[in-house]
Chains A and B, each alone.
Chain A
Amino acid sequence: MKLSKKQNWQRLHSRFEPGFMRMLLLSVAIHVLLPAFYTGLLYFSPPKEKPPVYRVNLVNKPVKNPQAGRPEASQKKQETVKKTQPKASPKPVVKPKPKPAPKPKPKPVVKPKPKPVAKPKPKPAPKPTVSKADEQSLAQKIDAMRRQKEREDRIAKLKEDLARERDKVVSPVVDAPVGEITGKGDEEGIAFASYVKAYITEQWRYSPYLGNNLNLEAVWVLVYSAEGQLVHKKVIAKSGNRAFDDSLLRAILKSQDLGRELGEKTEFEVTFNLREMQN
């Protein structure tokens, strides 16, 4: 007796314990999920925050319009200046000379170059007298001179490229900001704000042994005159720790004279904390 497909399936089904298929499916699912669990594919890993990069500028002096960005960026600016130099440089060389004899002198300077090429030109007049061999040797000489010039130019260019490559400044930290973050400016150096920050930091002495709490923060407003003198100080928020607050007062008292002009009266809101000492 032939059984239909449905009957066959029912017969097969009846051979197993009730719930067997469900268990089988569950087992398959677990076996599929197990490697995923093991390899950590199912775990959510939040993106790790990049640690803050602290850059200390020990060399640059403050300027009014600090050039921004990375050392590479500042280098680029230098390059653009260099490119314009060739145009500007001949002028001062030529200018002093033309003054005593303005026109005649530059001409001999410029003409000598075409002359070797030009000289053979006037000679064509006595062409018939010049033999073909002479003409050929002259052409060869000119050709050799041209090649020599080309080679010299190429070597000079290579040397220039090499020097540029050697002077190239590369930041050790790929995406770290350097200089001022604003990205604008026309002078290399640091802003007055950075100078004031460095100056006050230098005056601030605080030992971690003064207390076992490094989660301290205080905010001061300091107003400096255009001459760099502290004209007003006000505490906005105290830390609540006497040793910490005293150390700040000492630092501010030591920073009464910045030793440099600011150019204009400036108000600074300075936040003091120990974040860098917490690690």
Chain B
Amino acid sequence: MTDPKAHMTDEEKHQLALKLDQDLEEFINARKNTPYSEGWNEETWEQEMEQHPFFMKKLPEEGEPLPPLLEAFQQLKYDPEENTTEDLALSYKDDGNFNFKLKKYRFAIANYTEGLKQKCGNVEIDATLYLNRAACQFHLGNYRSSLNDSLQAAKLKPDYTKAVVRAAQCCLKLKRYADGQKWCDYGIRLKNTDPSLVKLRTELVQGQKLEERNKRKEEIAERKEEALINELVTALRVRGINTGIKRKKDSERAILDLSSIEPCHPAAIGKRVHLVDGCLVWPVLFLYPEYGETDFVQEFHEDTCFMDHLQLMFEELPLWDLEKKYNPASIRMYYEHRDSGKLHVVDPNCSLKTVLSQKTYVVQGGTPGFICLVEGSPFQKEFLKRYTS
């Protein structure tokens, strides 16, 4: 190809340049009569630039009046009079997709919702809107909403594999394993082979198995616990020990209410009476009202007697015993019968079992307690007086 300009001589080029300059000059002179009036004002140009849709740096806030140009654009795009519902739905879909890409899922959800509000009646568009909204909800962790939207999409378009995959993913998150498997099977049927669905299905099956295993394990543990409790309650009943355990009705089966033998003394919490080789082991409290002191024996075997423990506890004088008068020989033990308000003397050479089996003994708060006083002391006289009056 030949270029005609290539054949111009330097003289000709110069002439042409001169002519063009002249033309431009004439054009500018001709324009001088009509002064430019639409330009931005020198004082306010920054503000005006900010309001121009091309240059604006941030979107107008909610409620703020829209700059006229922007309003015009919006009308073009969103005015129901200018657009069909289908166009509008598509516009909102595009907005949603834009926000989705920026990971602004809540905005995107609002966009898709607007799109659906148009009720454009186009199944393809509506199904996409639902599914895209489902994707946003999924990313926000709203799996239930996501599932609902996926199902809506699949309802509109029964062969929408993507919707089925999303529904199955939600089911996995929601631990609705059986439903998830159904959706996988449905999806696999739609699309003979789909590795992602096959994989998802495997995950769902594994999840379900784990859940079932844990349930079985729990049930077995529960049953064992129940058997243990029954054994304990039987042991208490055989010994005629009064603990105030009640049966409470719970839906189908009677459950034993063990709260009455659950220790409430801070030192005894979690040390409930239990069976060791068919014998009961109790948490026991020794109370010294004279000094407001207590001793706590975590494991008091029912066949041992009080003297054994007293000797062990008073091997050394306790710090609080200012008068050095408390020792196994001087201590007298009592228990209180709540209903009659009477004190009963305990023989320190008796086993715990013998004392607890007495009709007048009621175990309070799962922890047998015994009052210890010094025989012949003024405090003893004082204390016993309260019970005789």
Asked whether A and B interact, the reply is no
